[in-house]
Amino acid sequence: MIAVCNHDSYFVQKNDVFDAMGLLPQQKITATLQMLAYGASADQVDAIMRMGKSTILESLMRFCRAIESIYTAEYIRKPTNIDLERLLKKAEMRGFPGMIGSIDSRWAIVRGAARLFDAESLRSIMMTCIILHNMIVEDEYDYEVVDEYEPDMMNNSRTRIYYAHDAIDEPVQHEPLQRDGRYNKRLIQRYTAF
Whether the pTM exceeds 0.85: the reply is no
pLDDT value at residue 112: 67
* Average pLDDT of the segment spanning 19-24: 88
pLDDT value at residue 146: 61
At 110-133, the pLDDT tens digits run 776 566 788 888 889 888 988 888
* Average pLDDT of the segment spanning 27-51: 88
Render 168-189 in DSSP notation, one character per residue: -SSPPP-PPP----TTHHHHHH
d(CA 12, CA 66): 13
What contacts 57, CB < 8 A, 6 or more positions away?
A: 42
At 162-189, the pLDDT tens digits run 444 455 556 556 666 566 667 677 777 7
- For residues 101, 105, 109, 113, the Cα torsion angle rounded to the nearest 10 degrees is 110
| Contact in structure between 7 and 66 (CB atoms under 8 Å) | yes
| Contact in structure between 25 and 14 (CB atoms under 8 Å) | no
Indicate the domain borders of the chain: 2-192
Burial of 129 (0-12, 13-18, 19+ CB in 10 A): buried
d(CA 173, CA 163): 11
Helix (H, G, I), strand (E, B) or coil at 96: coil
**DSSP code at position 108:** T
